[in-house]
Structure 1
Amino acid sequence: MKYSLAACIGAAALTIGLPSQAQEKIEWSGFGNIAAGMTTGSDDQLFGYDNDLDFNPETLFALQAKASLSDKLTVTTQLMSRGSDDFDLGVEWAYLQYQLTDSTSVNMGKLRLPLYIYSDSLDVGYSYHWLRTPQSVYRVAFDNYTGVSVQHNAFVGDFIFNTQVIAGTVKDDVEAGGSELSQAELNNLIGFNASAIYNNLTMRIAYYQTNDTNIHLQEIDTLLTSLEQIGAGDVASELEASEDKGSFAGIGFMYDNFNWFVGAEYTQLEVENSYIPKQRSSYITAGKRFENWSLHATLGQTDDEIVDAEQRFTVPAPQLQGIVNQVLGGVVNEATYSSVGVNFNVAPGAVFKFDVTHSDDKRTDASDVLVSAAVQFVF
């Protein structure tokens, strides 16, 4: 849902006009990212950038309000404005939280889908060392779901365990691979994530599944229509990502002793009996902190498993078989990424980051280099 800037200014004015007792119950916070980047080659394109200096792809601003309705019940709303969306304002989070016990809470509403280690702070660049999270892994096209989550914390010896169980639906217009998707819909989504913290080490696992995945890519839908028109409806049905079972699994760790750090994540996504390839993604990262600055490097890889159309079925029209193979190959990502970054703490709650990322596409033999910088802050 998008809002005009005038509407949000009006909402802020109404908030200021509330009685002081009501205002005292609201906790305000926010964060931002002013980023710029460009590729070094005239034909290079990476993460939404090309060889023209651009501030829009990763610049964003967010304001969050948390209000206490009682000792146990709170409501949280987060509004965000992204340069990639022409700075239209949208509701990123909107949920109620009920504190069942000191260690267990229930959240209900529009929530962040907790796929990765840094899912909760995905947009808060200040909270991690990268300028952007590794795109080799953090590439699922949707970030939020509507539903419920139950979170429990426990202390066992020197370990801190955190377990979260979720259930809900995803329904959103998203963009992936440079193509606009019609509404992506995941129904009956359930899953969990669990983490264990021991001193400076955090380990995490996650698993989610749905029995009703519906994702429509315009190019794929055109191909499916052509298959149906030549009498290959069974082939179209098998390729279509409609009411199919989908699953996501992830594992990762991060060791950080505030002097140096090292971490890694591996994820695997699969939508059975569809055109969507099995997506296998990973990265490893390490860095060193100094007094007011830090240096870090990251290696990432995507290794999708292409859907072999010729082995799974035969298209009646030979000329269309080649088109099927080409389209299916177009949604596969096989690439390696390497990046080096340096961060400078410019003020309490603000950091300047500089990053150089190199990408090698194994399927097209394309090599791209992106140079980017950002000021990321919280308040």
Structure 2
Amino acid sequence: MKKSSILVFLTAFICFSATAEINFSGFGTIAGGMTSSSDEYLDGYNDDFDMKAGSFFAIQGSSDLGDGLTATIQIMSRGDNDWDPKFSWAYLSYEANDQWRLLLGRQRAPLFLYSDYLDVSYAYHWIRPPTAVYDLPFDSFDGIGSIYTANFDDSTLTTHVVFGNNTDKQVLFSGTPIQTEFKQILGGSLTWNYDWLTLRGAYFQSDLTFPFEQGAANSTAADLAALQAGWGQTPFAYIGNELAVNDDKGVFTELGLQIDKNDWLFIAEVTKVTIDHTILPEQSSWYTSLGKRMGSVMLHATYGVNKDTDKSHLLANSDVPLGVDPGLDYLYGVTQGAIASLEDDSPFYTIGARWDFHDSAAVKFEFTNTKNQITDKDANLFQVAIVSVF
């Protein structure tokens, strides 16, 4: 939505406060970071100190309309988007009773352990959750959600089910933005909380479209588009169709654990993404994190792995005859190289500290190292941030 449209909406929303009670709150992060050398790029940073890539502010407004109906909006402005404001949430919720709530509109998908407050850095110990795991192309959707909470003697079980679409998200494919479509997003999460222990699981599926031809300025995307066209001129056009991501089913699963007892915090989360009949690899990611509170300071360490397994079986299971036609041999070899280039095996670790120097603000310091074991390249990232809620 354009800035002028948002200003008009906000003016109307504020004027509406004359007749309805509206509660405003906000949160923000001012972060700076840089990598250790000129050939390193990690999480939007290079070796030039940058204070835009990880900085943002958001304002959230909610109004109780009576009879269980509530309106909620959240507008976020990110530094890496030239501070252009954008609606991240805009939904109506209906509280049918103390256990069940229905949501309609743009809302957050409950994909991860920290999805509910993914952007509220003040709510957790990192500057942001590990991007090697929290790297899905979308985190919000337009649709319907249902939250049911069952309270037991000493524990709570929450079921969150959603259905909707996201067709306005761009992802970086080898450095070039590509418009994506996630249609018929269906799934949910199940979370059990007992005092200091939280267990959760999530399952989602969606029909995905990644139009590689839109990345013609990018060599990888352009090569894939050319390969699809090339196979289309052979009797083995089905291989080109397998390379494409066009209305294909993707599945995401997650398991999470959190132990927050006394001054110790332990978190573990594992995710898996599969997209059948496409060139995109199967992705398995996990991390564990341990933190120790010492008064207003927390020290923490995180270790994890992001592993992408290439789809080499797309060619291995084909019936393409090799050694018969030089053109087919060349096409086969180039395709084999393109598939292998998407393989990844990158362990990472983060060490950091959080200091709550104010009732509504904290300063955080972090060092992250990641190593691509396929290319044998390291990247080191230093970050500092001030996070707040207001």
Same fold, judged at TM 0.5 (above): yes
Asked if structure 2 preserves the Cα contact closer than 8 Å seen for 1:181 and 1:215, the reply is no
Q: Write the letter of the residue equivalent to 1:347.
A: H
Asked if structure 1 preserves the Cα contact closer than 8 Å seen for 2:137 and 2:169, the reply is no
Report whether the alignment pairs 1:157 with 2:192: no
Q: State the alpha-carbon separation in 2 of the partners of residues 158 and 326 from structure 1.
A: 55
Report whether the alignment pairs 1:356 with 2:367: yes
Measure how far apart 1:163 and its partner are. Answer: 0.6
Match of 2:218 in 1: none
Cα RMSD of the aligned pairs, angstroms, is 1.9
Identity of aligned residues (%): 32
Relative to structure 1, the CA distance from residue 254 to residue 336 in structure 2 (aligned partners, 3 Å threshold; closer, same or farther) is same
Give 3-state SS (helix, strand or coil) of 1:243's partner: strand
Asked if structure 1 preserves the Cα contact closer than 8 Å seen for 2:361 and 2:389, the reply is yes
Match of 2:324 in 1: none
Measure how far apart 1:372 and its partner are. Answer: 0.5
Structure 2 residues not aligned, in runs of 5+? 216-220, 322-326
Query: What TM-score, normalized to structure 1?
Result: 0.93
Asked if structure 2 preserves the Cα contact closer than 8 Å seen for 1:173 and 1:181, the reply is no
Query: Which runs of structure 2 are paired with 1:51-90 in the superposition (5 Å)?
Result: 51-90=47-86
Asked if structure 2 preserves the Cα contact closer than 8 Å seen for 1:79 and 1:91, the reply is yes
Q: State the alpha-carbon separation in 1 of the partners of residues 308 and 124 from structure 2.
A: 27
Q: State the alpha-carbon separation in 2 of the partners of residues 243 and 10 from structure 1.
A: 36
Match of 1:214 in 2: 209
Q: Write the letter of the residue equivalent to 2:362.
A: V
Between stretches 179-188 and 85-94, larger displacement belongs to: 179-188
Report whether the alignment pairs 1:202 with 2:198: yes
Q: State the alpha-carbon separation in 1 of the partners of residues 159 and 82 from structure 2.
A: 37
Measure how far apart 1:125 and its partner are. Answer: 0.8
Report whether the alignment pairs 1:369 with 2:364: no
Q: Write the letter of the residue equivalent to 1:325.
A: Q
Q: Write the letter of the residue equivalent to 1:214.
A: T
Q: Write the letter of the residue equivalent to 1:372.
A: Q
Instruction: Output one character per residue of 1:332-364: Cα deviation in whole Å (capped at 9) or x when no partner.
Output: 331011010001112111110000000000111
Asked if structure 2 preserves the Cα contact closer than 8 Å seen for 1:181 and 1:216, the reply is no
Measure how far apart 1:135 and its partner are. Answer: 1.4
Report whether the alignment pairs 1:331 with 2:350: no
Structure 1 residues not aligned, in runs of 5+? none
Report whether the alignment pairs 1:299 with 2:303: yes
Match of 1:111 in 2: 107
Q: State the alpha-carbon separation in 1 of the partners of residues 375 and 357 from structure 2.
A: 40
Report whether the alignment pairs 1:271 with 2:266: no
Q: State the alpha-carbon separation in 2 of the partners of residues 247 and 102 from structure 1.
A: 32
Measure how far apart 1:10 and its partner are. Answer: 5.8
Q: State the alpha-carbon separation in 2 of the partners of residues 236 and 204 from structure 1.
A: 39
Q: State the alpha-carbon separation in 2 of the partners of residues 32 and 103 from structure 1.
A: 31
Asked if structure 1 preserves the Cα contact closer than 8 Å seen for 2:256 and 2:268, the reply is yes
Q: State the alpha-carbon separation in 2 of the partners of residues 163 and 18 from structure 1.
A: 33
Match of 1:310 in 2: 315
Report whether the alignment pairs 1:122 with 2:127: no
Match of 1:321 in 2: 332
Match of 1:344 in 2: 355
Q: State the alpha-carbon separation in 1 of the partners of residues 278 and 205 from structure 2.
A: 15
Instruction: Output one character per residue of 1:311-334: Cα deviation in whole Å (capped at 9) or x when no partner.
Output: 133486222223222322333331
Relative to structure 1, the CA distance from residue 178 to residue 99 in structure 2 (aligned partners, 3 Å threshold; closer, same or farther) is same
Q: State the alpha-carbon separation in 2 of the partners of residues 101 and 325 from structure 1.
A: 56
Instruction: Output one character per residue of 1:133-186: Cα deviation in whole Å (capped at 9) or x when no partner.
Output: 111210111111111111011112322101111111121232235433433222
Q: State the alpha-carbon separation in 2 of the partners of residues 107 and 194 from structure 1.
A: 17
Q: Write the letter of the residue equivalent to 1:305.
A: T
Asked if structure 1 preserves the Cα contact closer than 8 Å seen for 2:122 and 2:389, the reply is yes
Measure how far apart 1:111 and its partner are. Answer: 1.1
Q: Write the letter of the residue equivalent to 2:209.
A: N
Give 3-state SS (helix, strand or coil) of 1:318's partner: helix
Relative to structure 1, the CA distance from residue 77 to residue 36 in structure 2 (aligned partners, 3 Å threshold; closer, same or farther) is same
Query: What TM-score, normalized to structure 2?
Result: 0.91
Q: Write the letter of the residue equivalent to 2:3.
A: Y
Match of 2:176 in 1: 180
Asked if structure 2 preserves the Cα contact closer than 8 Å seen for 1:163 and 1:192, the reply is yes
Q: State the alpha-carbon separation in 2 of the partners of residues 258 and 76 from structure 1.
A: 34
Give 3-state SS (helix, strand or coil) of 1:158's partner: coil
What is the aligned residue count? 374
Asked if structure 1 preserves the Cα contact closer than 8 Å seen for 2:27 and 2:58, the reply is yes
